[in-house]
Structures are given as structure tokens and as C-alpha cells.
Structure 1
Amino acid sequence: MTSPVGNPWLLTGASQLPHPAPPCRPRGAPSRVARGALSELPRRGTLAAVAVGVGATLAADGVLRATQRGYAAAGPVLWPPRLTRETLRKELVEGQIWGLEQVIAFFTVSANIRMLVVRLSDGKLWVCGPIAPTQECLQLLDSLGPVGHLVVPGSALEHKSSLSDFSRRYPKASVWVSPGASGALGDPPLGRVDGVLGEGTPPWATEIDFKVFYVAPPETAGTYAETAFFHKKTQTLLLTDAVLKVPDAAPEILASYGYDGEPRQLSDKEWYYKFLAFNFLELRGQDQEDFQALAKAKGVVSPILRFTLYPICQAQAQRWVTAVAQWPFRRAVAGHLASPFPLTPQDFLDAFGFLRGKPSSWEPQRPQLVNLQKAAESLDGPEALQSSIWTPWR
């Protein structure tokens, strides 16, 4: 790589291995990378209104308490839907792993977000990436058993903003967070934290192994972390954003928000648009073809991460990917889109083939990357485009 990004590190389980490692994260983390990427892309004018709306939300959300789908949270709701939010629970691995899903929206661009729940051998629940704590959500969680552990899997705001509410609700639960989860100025406070992943051994480590990918300023423009987890008993890889499976149809929970806030089923055309726009791909009048190319992959790396972030942390990312692929997983669950989905270590490596100069599980066409290229160059400098990740499209 032509422009090293400093001296972050790869954290593996309770051990720490010094390496240079990655900065990444457009969706959620309030970094220069994220803010710039948003401003670079078409049809994102309404996103600016989200930032303005957050200030008003801070003052108004105290009234959101009443119904089952209204908020139990004391703090702000950062994304629509703001008045009520439906929660859908699905069993992902029989009797062992569940996903609780809600919607996060940027007006007509919306996606599902999933909190992962694992039942440990002592019957207690391991809860990863707390979502908005509506009464409905909390009741669905409590019906599975006692909450024993709360985990923040990375630096993405949407996966950590509800931690303080959950830790107050479950005062006996241990709380472990990824490094960098304390976030930037303006992030909601995390509340009580018992340990940082990679700086100690969590009480659940004998059943769920973990590897953390982390980088932070001043070496890089923004803070990024994602922890991959491996549930040994079920041979399941638990991810947040690293590799996702694109479903052919819109996730069921999106019907609770519809296209622009009115509950209804999405058409295929609307789902294609939402997915492509949420990933900042150029909308070039052939949404179905572009969507299906992504959906046919066994697992795919977000185009945002691939093209605006990994080029400046390529070697470091590859070390983490190689380490994760040492686990003998046979399926994966993730914080967005479809879950569970079949995934082997080789499939995981294939999704990141671009890090090694090899074909990946999905390869775009040049016209899809116009805005991502502009964002990468403006945010990280022209040298970012010298990475081999950009070679086929320069």
C-alpha cells in the first residue's frame, strides 16, 4: 500500500498483536470519513436534514414513552422512525441464537438493524449491539431468559447508542465494548462499562471467541472498530458490517416503515433503490441488474467500506480477515440484511478477495463507482486511489 495509515493494532481474543490496522466506517460513526462520504453522493441531500433534526430530537424525545412500540429510552432517538418503532424477533439458530430487528431510516433510504442474542450454557443471554429499547423490544428479549452480558461490537453509532439504556435496565449484566466505542464528541454516553475487548478476558470468552479490528486518530481520519465473534457450540460467525448477505426481497421489518414512513410492503423496485442508495452506489437506471449482481454473492463487503476505506488500510485489514478465517464456522449472522446465511472461511476470504488483488464475491462495473471514487479521493487524497483495490477502475 502506498500510504500507510499509522499504528493501530489487531486484537485477537484477550491477546493483543501490534500491527498497523484500519479506519473505516461511513454509516453511523461521526467521523470525517462519514461526513464527507455522505456529502459527496447524489440523492443524499435529505441526509443533511437528519443532522439538523438530531438537535431537535434531543429536546423532543422525552415524550416518547407511551405505547409498546414507543421508546423506553431516556436519551435521543437519532434516526427515524422517531415516534414508534416495531421490533421483530426471529430465531436464527435453533434454541441458541436470535435476532431482534428494527428499522433505521434516512427518509426514503432505510435498512434493517439487528441485535444478536445468544443463549449461553448457563441460560443467560449474551446481547450484542443493543437496538432502540422499546417496551416491545425489551419484552421480546426478556421472554428468552435473563440478560447476563451486553456487548458493543464496534464503533458504529447505530450499534452502540442504546447501550446506556440497556445497562440501566439490566444492572447485573456485564458490559463489554470494542475499543473506540466511546466515540466522538456528540455521541450518546455509553454508561457503565466493565471491560474493553482485547484488554481483558470477558466472562463469556470460553463459549464465544472474538477478534477485534480497530484504528483511531491521530493516525487516521476517523475511528473504526468491528469485532467478529465465533460461537463455538453452533460454529456460527457473528458479524456486524464486515460481510453481509443481500436478500432478494426487502427484509420483513421494512414493511413497518414502508418507502417513506407509511407502513406497507415495498415493491421490488423500491427495495433495489433503497439498497443501492444506502450503499452509495451510482444509480444509473439499471437498479435490478446492479442489485442482483450483489444479491447472488454468498457474502459481500459493503461497497462503502471496500472503496473509500479499505484502500488506506489494506494490509492491516487482510491480517484481520485471515485471522477470522481460522475459525471453523459454517454459517454467519450479521447486524443488517439477511441472517442466518451459509458462510465458510473460504467464502469469507472470497468476499475480501480485493484485499489480495484477487476477484471478490462481487465485482462492480466502472460506472457504479463514480461517486465513491470522488469520495475516496477527496477524503483520503489522490494516493488512496493508488491502492490495488482501485487498480481495475482507475
Structure 2
Amino acid sequence: MPPGDLSWRFWPAVPLYPYGRRRTLRKEVVKDTIWTFDQVQGILYAVVPIRMTVVRLDKGGLLVYAPVAPTKECIRLVQELVDKHGEVKYIILPTASGLEHKVFVGPFARRFPYSQVFVTPNQWSFPVNLPLSWLGFPTKRTHVIPENSADAPFADEFDYEVLSINLGRGSFEEIALLHKRSRTLLVTDSVLVVPEDPPAIAQVDPYPLLFHARESGLEVVEDTEAMRRKGWQRISLFAIYFRPSALEKVGMGEALRNALKAPERSRKAYFGFFPFKWNPDWKRSFDALRGGGRLFVAPILQTFIFNQTPRKVLEWANKVARWNFERIIPCHFDAPIKASPSEFRQAFAFLEKNPPQLFGSGSQPLPKKDCEFLSELEENLTKRGITSPPKE
């Protein structure tokens, strides 16, 4: 494939790996109806999928939920669906703050000039609050999604509920979108499932998986299925907890000495610098995180966002759980997920404690020791006035 087909030239706006070169994998989830488009992104090779979902409309045309980087490869894969099913009619930006989703929407929409863009209310961005027009959103075709889903132009095929939480310095927003006919629920960040094996998109370039499968910078690992799985499971712990309990500190002196002796000291390998060390019990932490493939809310949302207004979140979850769906497609980690409305609602059970018992989901709580870093971070940020204490 020509390198230009993978190019994403606006990567400096959100400088996440793999920067300006992104592969896209398309997967048919419901025959001739729903497709997912996966790319990867992350920091320090802790890469996880970021996902766009495309739905065929009964009256012709397509709806796009949470666009990814519109590389030539990605657009070609979408265009194949356009040629068969009709133009992209609607593009949904289902979040308000995340530049990692928002930065793709404007350039994507401009490739499909007949599309209408719908965004959540209270748009903002961090670390720089940029107006949507600066991100390339087409001004005349961009609209705030109606408060009542019955007023949307796609109401005959979709229902939706918008979760909006005022955080003081911005707002957390998420659109849960139901495709009625296929009984498919689309969400952004609210719930997820961590797969045991690395997703297909993460295996297109296995270097990040093998990088994290090592025990130290002095080790060279063989590219095997077992090593890829090991690397993925450690990446998942990084991505979910930021600093899981199974990760031990490596002194700067030791890390530098090892870097000088590392067998690979290229720029790609961070010049041999590998400041990670896992204790022998790390796999138990992953198994507890995965919980046999259960649906859960990420600890960072439990700690910083959803505990702000638990009643509002539970009201939103209750409304979504009244819908009739059989699968969920989130924007990250595993998809599609076979799940019922009751399983979706159970993921928010941690909010029903008084005071809320964080980090848990029903009968399978996440280990508090793995969440200690997030708890300490939240406490420090609140003391400094950067974040707010729970309002309820």
C-alpha cells in the first residue's frame, strides 16, 4: 500500500502514536447494515483501538458515528459503502471535550459534502479550547443535536440519549445512539470490555505489543502469539489504570544504565530507555480487570466524572437500559459486545452506593489497589482546585 494512503497530516493537533501514519481496518458487524472502522492511538506504545461506526439507512445513505482519521485508505473503505448504499448523510460527534475524537470530524465531513454534522451541546476542548470552525467543521452543515431525539432527521431509525455533566471547566458529554432495526447500541467512552487477545488492528503493527511484552530493555522477545497477548494485556492495564499496582518503579539511574546496554537503541525503541518493571502477579491484575469479559465503566470516569452527579448518570443509564438492544459498539477496546440492557445498567451499579463505592461493577469489583493512583490523583487535583468534589 502506498505510504500516502495512510497519511494523517493533522496529527500535530493531537500528537498521539502512530502520529502521521494510520492503518484502518473495516469490519462488517451486521450484514449490509453496520460496519466498524478501527485505527489505533496511544502514548508510549500503550495503543488501544479508536473506532468509527457506519450504519446504512433504510431509505438510502449512511450515518457515521465518531469519525476516525480520514486517511486515503479510510475514505476509500467508506467510499466503497457509499457506492453501494448511498451518500454519507449524517455525521455524529458524540462527545464534547475529547480532541482525540473531535479533530477528525471536520476533515472527514469535508470529504462528504452532502453530509450534515450533529454535535453534542457545550462543546469545548482540552488543553486548548478551540472553536469548531478552527477544527475544520463546515459551518453551514454543523448543528447541535436536538434535545429531543424525535426532532432529529434520522428519528425514524434511531433513538438517542445525551448525557451532559457540567464539570465547571467544561462538560462531559456522550450520545448513546440506538439503531432500532439491528438492536445495536453505539457509545463512546461510557462502557467497555477488555478482550483477552489483542484486537486485529493492534496486530497490524505488533511492535507496541512486543515492546510491552519485555521484562526489561535488555530483553529481545520473539514475535509469537503468546508475546503479543502478553504485551496487549499489559497495555490494557496501562490504558485503564495509568499506574497499575503490578507496575514497579524503576530508578532513573538503573533505567539509563540498562539503556546503554540495550540490544536495540534506535529512536523507535526510545534509545533503549525502558522505565517499566512488572511484578510476577501482573497477570492476576489483568484477569481481575477483564472479569471474564464483563462490561464495566473505566475507573477514570468513575473517579473524575460520573461520581460528580450520580443521579443524573443513573437516570441516563436507566433510559438507555429501557431500549431493546442485543449488542454494544463502544469507540474503544472490544467490539461488538454481546450485551443486554440489564448488563449495561449493571455496569453503573457502583453509583448506587452511599457514599458511592468506586471502581466496582456489581459483583465483580475492580481491585482498589489498582485504582489507588487515580484516587490519589483525584484527591490532589481537588485540593488544588483543578477538579471539583462530587456535587451530590
Distance 1:194 1:308, change over 3 A: closer
Which residue is 1:290 aligned to? 285
Shift of 1:77: 5.2
Distance 1:222 1:254, change over 3 A: same
Structure (1 or 2) with the larger CA radius of gyration: 2
Shift of 1:195: 1.6
Q: Of 90, 105, 112, which aligns to 2:27?
A: 90
Distance 1:381 1:289, change over 3 A: same
Shift of 1:258: 2.8
Distance 1:344 1:68, change over 3 A: same
Shift of 1:261: 8.9
- Unaligned regions of 5+ residues in structure 2, if any? 212-222, 247-278
Give yes or no for the alignment of 1:195 onto 2:112.
no
Shift of 1:374: 0.6
Letter in 1 for 2:372: V
- Unaligned regions of 5+ residues in structure 1, if any? 1-64, 390-394
Letter in 1 for 2:283: Q
Give yes or no for the alignment of 1:172 onto 2:114.
yes
Shift of 1:333: 0.9
Which residue is 2:332 aligned to? 336
Alpha-carbon distance between aligned partners in 2 of 1:313 and 1:378, rounded to the nearest angstrom = 20
Shift of 1:71: 2.6
Give yes or no for the alignment of 1:313 onto 2:309.
yes
Distance 1:304 1:182, change over 3 A: closer
Alpha-carbon distance between aligned partners in 1 of 2:17 and 2:209, rounded to the nearest angstrom = 8
Distance 1:80 1:272, change over 3 A: same
Alpha-carbon distance between aligned partners in 1 of 2:177 and 2:41, rounded to the nearest angstrom = 24
Shift of 1:186: 4.6
Distance 1:247 1:260, change over 3 A: closer
Which residue is 1:58 aligned to? none
Normalised to the residue count of structure 1, the TM-score between the two structures is: 0.75
Which residue is 1:249 aligned to? 197
Give yes or no for the alignment of 1:181 onto 2:103.
no
Indicate the SS of the match to 1:195: strand
Alpha-carbon distance between aligned partners in 2 of 1:386 and 1:124, rounded to the nearest angstrom = 45
Alpha-carbon distance between aligned partners in 1 of 2:389 and 2:43, rounded to the nearest angstrom = 32
Shift of 1:80: 1.7
Which residue is 2:370 aligned to? 368
Which residue is 1:13 aligned to? none
Indicate the SS of the match to 1:117: strand
Shift of 1:194: 2.9
In the TM superposition, what are the counterparts of 1:214-293 in structure 2 within 5 Å?
214-216=164-166, 220-260=168-208, 267-280=228-241, 281-284=243-246, 285=279, 286-293=281-288
Alpha-carbon distance between aligned partners in 2 of 1:123 and 1:376, rounded to the nearest angstrom = 47
Q: Is the 8 A contact 2:11 2:19 kept in 1?
A: no
Shift of 1:355: 0.9
In the TM superposition, what are the counterparts of 1:75-114 in structure 2 within 5 Å?
76=13, 78-114=15-51
How many percent of aligned residue pairs carry the same amino acid? 30
Distance 1:386 1:202, change over 3 A: closer
Indicate the SS of the match to 1:111: strand
Root-mean-square deviation (Å) = 2.9
Normalised to the residue count of structure 2, the TM-score between the two structures is: 0.75
Distance 1:194 1:186, change over 3 A: closer
1:114-142: CA deviation from partner (whole Å, max 9, x where unpaired): 00100011221101111111100000011
Shift of 1:308: 2.7
Distance 1:83 1:183, change over 3 A: closer
